[in-house]
Structure 1
């Protein structure tokens, strides 16, 4: 029996494909999958000569050696050096291995999504999926693992017949990666140890993302996160079909990124020895992300948010660590900004970029130069400027940004900046520059009105750090007026709020193409490895569906939270099964009993 996916969903099954596909039909036949099921795949020029991949032992992991991963195939060991991004074939190879791991080792029993009297499918007289055929229909474009937005087709088609034949086709290797993620979401673990099954056959899916840039921004400077923490976050982002991981790697509080040409930066700027990212770590992270179709975008924020540089180069920083009235000069302590008219700063940045950008280029087409929250008062303490007058500062900032972006372009990369450089400083930016918005929908509209490509991320919806209360201590003299000590972006942005945000709401139809997508942001003043997972997930999943599937359904209506809740609850279970400490959406009673937890529901 074929069922067109209709909502509200059946109470007996969440039918959780997350993000929701563009087109999805399913049946109600149970099929099983075995560890011996073979995966056969072919590239655009290999049709008729399918490569067979049975249940081989293929392990992807990093070692402590420089730029090295050991890949294991049976008893063979081969070394892969991380000097360049993976090929499409390598990405598919890894995606097949990962799909098997997810289905057979990182799966869950879906008891929370059925009534109490639910009986699992019988393990007798099983019909098994015989073969999973994977086919790339076109040759991959150059730079498949490090694309500019819009240069890679991520669409895919998935068909599962009632007889057990599976076909996943796509126009690129990345599309295959996305399709294999969806394939894993069709299956559940059997509590009796009977393997994995899907109750949804036959299945027909066609899927394509609405937005080209779908990302998570992780701040690893306010708090330090281990490589495993970052990799786990990349894993979760990839499983939500996100394709960008924004690494905000330095800030005022610490400089954890090792720069071989300037070793003193991390030696003195890190919180302590060992809380750094070595060149090997950095290369491995970039490769790790790209293997999953996720492009890691590095940000060195400047000229503000650079106080940690003063610990090794005090001559470069103005208004450093001013106390007690620091809030006159910066958004948060310690204050400090790169001097705006200093040849020493120019020389320093040249040396920094000459070291770092060539190590970014193999894995990304972008480099983020920051530019947010630059306080003009800081330049009263800048001996190369001695002024806070916009008429004096603006041309100096223009020169500063022009110089930086010329270096970024010369390295073969495309610059990204925060919105203030365009809207507050009124700089003239190159037509190639992507402008990241965070303050308002009005700001996003202003960016595209100026003809720039933009990234959405309104802090009122997609700042995942909000609502934790003040991390600043409140002096008794102002304690009463600060009560109840909320942070600037309170309250906590729950998943429903994040899901309700439409990045295109303020943008005219003829400028929609300029909104490349957006990012959810995890600033780390009050987040560390202990609460990282639950701070991002599954709220980040809500953002992921908006960016993949769009904020509107096929009828142009806001997507239903009633539909989304059980699917997101199931996605949460899948993330937990994969080792992600995501928060729950609802208690089991709600997901087991269907409509009983609706407020204002009218049948």
Structure 2
């Protein structure tokens, strides 16, 4: 029979009476084109609640994305609670409620790990450090205007926004803070921003690995456009879907493999917990397809209908994904106003524990993505496979 494995996401744990009985092996052959498939979230310009971040990690797993790029600190606020420098968040966060404790960060990292997602922190420095200056003004460059210090206007002259490179305390503070960040985040990477500086041309010549993000700024808002007299198309979707990471690339084959993948970026000037999921999805699914599928899968005319179906799928899972085509998805839209982030129906938590020591569901190209080898739990296989899979020898029993 045909089994849509995602059906398990719609069932509560109590409704699972027996177990999934696998009578024969099933080979799932599926592997990504690019290894780095990420989403950047900005939690400095607007604080993003921990449950919302975890919810978005779930949706990332549905779409086979495997990197959460966390832009956690910027000018507007310093929500990362540092135990080494506690005043950074005490004075730099919006309020005492708008902080991420080490325990919060650890729980997000663990939630991501069980979904096969790596978390990379981003600390904006040496620019965009206005929030640092609220507790450590001695670290910030004194900017002049009209012949006087401290007269520059924030946002126009960079007043209180740039770390002072000749101040010794800057180096010792950065060293201690980054050591603390590294002790919490298990990733081998920490992103330190150099705002406005284009260094990729130098990095490419030195053989550095790179990722693509500039064509996928999801926070930009666009609108439909009449392609014909009767058809409205979503230019925003087509723009993201038609990006080809290696188009017009004239480098060597060795240089091509240094393009590790890409990211959809959602900057937070006008995004908070009320609209993040709708702004991000399903547009980011178009980015996910470009990074997973072969280069030949590039027909955006076909993709728009598949993405529209996927949008309906997300609605059924309680994700308020915005529409990309005219039409409707049953009556799911009618119930979405009640599906807020704290609603139990919205915050489902299904993690069926199953002994995988004898499992025969295998995917050599993506084993670590589908399973958590450490705890031997099925974690994201049901959330990850977005296709109907022909399984003839599987018995599943449920209580209705």
**Structures share a fold, TM > 0.5?**
yes
Distance 1:370 1:312, change over 3 A: same
CA drift at 1:566: 1.6
How much has 1:285 moved relative to structure 2?
A: 0.5
Give the 3 Å change call, closer, same or farther, for CA 210–269 of structure 1 in structure 2: same
Residue 500 of structure 1 is aligned with which of 242, 246, 250? Answer: 242
- Native 8 Å contact 2:140 2:160 kept in 1: no
Q: 2:74, 2:130 within 8 Å by CA — same for their partners in 1?
A: yes
* Alpha-carbon offset, residue 266 of structure 1: 0.4
Query: 1:356 aligned to 2:356?
Result: no
Q: Does the C-alpha gap of structure 1 residues 335 and 518 become closer, same or farther in structure 2, counting only changes over 3 Å?
A: farther
Partner Cα separation in structure 2 for residue 320 and residue 230 of structure 1: 36
Task: Give the match for residue 115 of structure 2.
Answer: 292
What is the rounded CA distance, in whole Å, between the counterparts of 1:326 and 1:264 in structure 2?
22
Residue matched to 2:231 = none
Displacement of 1:450 in angstroms is 3.7
Residue 166 (structure 1) shift:
6.9
SS in 1 for 2:193: coil
CA distance in 2, matches of 1:105, 1:570: 23
Q: CA RMSD in A?
A: 2.9
- Aligned length, in residue pairs: 308
2:309 matched residue in structure 1: 570
1:586 positional shift:
1.6
The yes-or-no answer on 1:579 pairing with 2:318 is yes
Q: Which residue of 1 aligns with 2:381?
A: none
Equivalent of residue 278 in structure 2, options 534, 541, 549: 534
TM-score, scaled relative to structure 1: 0.47
Per-residue CA shift, 1:411-433, capped at 9, x if unaligned? xxxxxxxxx3625xxxxxxxxxx
Distance 1:565 1:590 in 2: 15
Change (3 A) 1:589 1:246: closer
CA distance in 2, matches of 1:300, 1:516: 21
What do residues 63-119 of structure 1 show as CA deviations (whole Å, max 9, x unaligned)? xxxxxxxxxxxxxxxxxxxxxxxxxxxxxxxxx9xx56415369xxxxxxxxxxxxx
**CA separation of 1:104 and 1:265: change in aligned 2, threshold 3 A:** same
Residues 39-188 of structure 1 mapped to structure 2, 5 A cutoff: 101-104=8-11, 133=22, 167-169=25-27
The higher relative CO (CA closer than 8 Å, separation ≥ 6) is in 2
C-alpha contact (below 8 Å) 2:222/2:236 kept by paired residues = no
The answer to whether the 8 Å contact 1:448/1:515 transfers is no
Per-residue CA shift, 1:305-355, capped at 9, x if unaligned? 11100010001012579777545534xxx7501111111111111221232
Query: 2:141–2:162: 8 Å Cα contact kept in structure 1?
Result: yes
- Structure ID, larger Rg: 1
Q: What SS is found at the alignment partner of 2:271?
A: coil
What is residue 225 of structure 1 aligned with on the other side?
Answer: 48
The residue matched to 1:366 in structure 2 has which SS?
A: coil
Among 427, 432, 453, the alignment partner of 2:209 is 453
Q: CA separation in 1, counterparts of 2:208 and 2:120?
A: 19
Deviation (angstroms), 1:225 = 0.6
Is contact 1:254-1:308 (8 Å) kept?
yes
